[in-house]
Structure 1
């Protein structure tokens, strides 16, 4: 089990990015969370198999149809043992 923290910038709020990320994460059997930041970006903490994390990161480069992604930065972090993937407010 690996974990990544991913920050996505661009037009990523108000375009269903969080719900799209949740759907993709659940398809890939990834646990963790996604949230909006006050600065206008989206942050994801994702835990799962390396290949699944890679696919989620690839999805983040495009996001949902209305998103305009400027950057995706990911770094390895410690796994917390989440069981579900949730949207945080």
Structure 2
């Protein structure tokens, strides 16, 4: 099991983005969540298998993610 913390920037703050992201986490068999940050970005924390984590990043960077994602970066 691996842990991944992402910061998602763009027009992403809102209940819809967090709700859909939590659903995708569950669909991929990941544990974690999404929370709004004061700077307007969203922190997504996910724990699970590497392939599922990679699929999460691909979804966040793809056209089906809700909101308008400008960037997805890994937090250390």
TM over 0.5: yes
SS of structure 2 residue aligned to 1:29: coil
The equivalent residue for 1:70 is: 70
Where structure 2 has 5 or more consecutive residues not aligned to the other structure, the ranges are: none
Query: For the residues of structure 2 that align with 1:58 and 1:10, how far apart are their CA atoms?
Result: 16
Where structure 1 has 5 or more consecutive residues not aligned to the other structure, the ranges are: 78-89
Q: How many residues align?
A: 74
Q: TM-score normalized by structure 1?
A: 0.76
SS of structure 1 residue aligned to 2:51: helix
Q: CA RMSD in A?
A: 1.4
Q: TM-score normalized by structure 2?
A: 0.88
> 1:9-42 CA distances to partner (integer Å, 9 max, x unpaired)?
0000126110111000000110012100111000
Q: Which has the larger radius of gyration?
A: 1
User: Which runs of structure 1 show a deviation greater than 2 angstroms over 4 or more consecutive aligned residues?
Assistant: none
